[in-house]
Structure 1
Amino acid sequence: MHIHHLRNATVILQFGPHRVLVDPMLAPQDSLPPLRLFGARQRNPRVELPESTPAALESVTHCLITHCQKGHFDHLDRSAKRWLRERQTPVICTPHDAPYLRTRGLNAQPLPDDHAQPSAFLGGQIRTVRCTHGHGWVGRLMEHGVGYLIELPDEPSLYLAGDTVLTPTVEAFVRRHQPDVCLVPAGGARFDLGHDIIMGVEEVLAFTRLAHGQVVANHLEALSHCPVTRQALAAAAQAAGLRNRLQIPADGECLTFPGPATGMSASGDHHLSRASTA
């Protein structure tokens, strides 16, 4: 399995012949609105997509959306909608998001509305995991969406946490399934008022202690309401003795996780290789 990190939550997952684009935000730098009203009202995204993006997108076979309504352009923006609509790429989503996507001309293919049971996916299976997009009262106003656990033959299992804080539901799911690789939001996003709406440094470290496999951090240094930097997260992980299990890819970087039969060490950890395609 390859995880090609493009920017923010946008990645391309490679499973054999399949290329799955996750939560695409394809707009140019500074072309989207600010996400905070006070202080420096910076437009988004804060950085451009890597130069490798157009070539990487040409290989995409499917798209996977965790959530996309109530203004969540950082998981599906107008540029991405246009790109998906022109190609009629199959868009895997929740039943909640399917009507919204279809009214915009996208080829929405909803999964069953059942968090308990997996569905068929690319020759293996996928299941959804509930997200809680924020602590306190602000979380009650957010569009929560889902995370996904993907389990395919001869590939490491992958948990895409989606936009969530660390909740008892997420903790229990990880303890039960112990995915080989987990992709979690780490930017500590918050608006002008209220608490964090995704994991920040401390929750990412707590998640990494809980998980047995590799953890990959995203949602970093691309949006104006995400204050956590890669350097700060790496320093905290190093101080906590977790740096070898917490991967913090640069935009454009590709991480490779070999399958269970070929990539497991005596301790059960997956070997990891990195490549920059920016």
Structure 2
Amino acid sequence: MRIQQIRNATIILELGPHRVLVDPMLARKDALPPLRLFSARQRNPLVELPHAAEQALAAVTHCLITHCQKGHFDHLDNAGKRWLRERQIPVICTPHDASYLAQRGINVQPLPHDHAAPSPFLGGRIRTLRCTHGAGVIGRLMEHGVGYLIELPGEPSLYLAGDTVLTPALRDFVLQHQPQVSVVPAGGARFDLGGEVIMGVDDVLGFTRLCRGTVVANHLEAISHCPVTREGLTRAAAEAGILQRLRIPEDGQVLDLGRC
């Protein structure tokens, strides 16, 4: 398994012969609106795609979407929709998102409605876990989406967290399944009101302590409402004594996570 960090939540998974693009936000720097109204009114994304993105995208065979409605352009923007539509890449998603994507001319392959049971996926299996994309009033306004647990022959088990905070249900899920590799959102995103709507430093450290495998942190330094930096997270993980299991890739970097 190899994971290439593209930008924000956008990654490419190399799983045997398959190249799976996750949550494509492909816009140019500053092409998208701010995500805060009263502070940090920077346009998004904050950085351009890395130079390696064009070559990496050319090899993509499938796409996986965690959530994409209610204005979540940081997981699927208009540039990403156009890219998928032009290439008719098979897009795996939840039934909830299937009609939204199909109406935009995208080649959707929705998973079954049953969240509890795994579904076939690229010669192995995939299952979903509902995300909690913030709590309270803000949480009620959010599109919560899902995370995915992917288990393929010869590859480490992989949990893609989607946009979520660390909840008791997620704790139980990790303790039960103990994924060998996990990718978690680490930017500590928050709006002008309310608390974090994805994991921040404390949640990432807590998640990493729960599992025995490798944790990959993304959703960093690309969107204006995510204050956590790679440097700050690295420092906190070193102080907590867990840096050896937490990977914090730069945009464009490829992580080789081996095979089973």
Tell me what 2:244 maps to: 244
In the TM superposition, residue 15 of structure 1 has moved relative to its aligned partner by 0.6
Tell me what 1:63 maps to: 63
- 1:42 equivalent to 2:75? Answer no
C-alpha separation in 1, matches of 2:107 and 2:39? 40
* One-letter amino acid of the counterpart of residue 232, structure 1: G
- 1:121 equivalent to 2:117? Answer no
C-alpha separation in 1, matches of 2:108 and 2:144? 19
Tell me what 1:15 maps to: 15
* One-letter amino acid of the counterpart of residue 227, structure 2: P
* One-letter amino acid of the counterpart of residue 225, structure 1: H
Contact 2:40 2:225 in 1 (8 A): no
1:96 partner SS: helix
Aligned pairs (5 A) from 1:103-118: 103-118=103-118
Contact 1:130 1:169 in 2 (8 A): no
- 1:172 equivalent to 2:182? Answer no
Tell me what 2:3 maps to: 3
In the TM superposition, residue 140 of structure 1 has moved relative to its aligned partner by 1.3
1:119-178 CA distance string (max 9 Å, x none): 000000000011000022211110000000000000000000000000011111000000
C-alpha separation in 1, matches of 2:108 and 2:56? 22
Gaps in structure 2 of 5+ consecutive residues: none
Aligned pairs (5 A) from 1:202-221: 202-221=202-221
C-alpha separation in 2, matches of 1:38 and 1:200? 21
Gaps in structure 1 of 5+ consecutive residues: 261-278
Tell me what 1:269 maps to: none
Tell me what 2:92 maps to: 92
C-alpha separation in 1, matches of 2:188 and 2:52? 27
Higher relative contact order (CA 8 A, sep 6+): 2
1:94-128 CA distance string (max 9 Å, x none): 00000000000000110011121000000000000
Tell me what 1:149 maps to: 149
1:167-204 CA distance string (max 9 Å, x none): 01111100000000000000000000011100000010
* One-letter amino acid of the counterpart of residue 235, structure 2: A
* One-letter amino acid of the counterpart of residue 225, structure 2: H
Tell me what 1:271 maps to: none
Instruction: Give the structure-2-normalised TM-score.
Output: 0.99
2:191 partner SS: coil
* One-letter amino acid of the counterpart of residue 203, structure 1: D
Q: Give the paired residue count.
A: 260
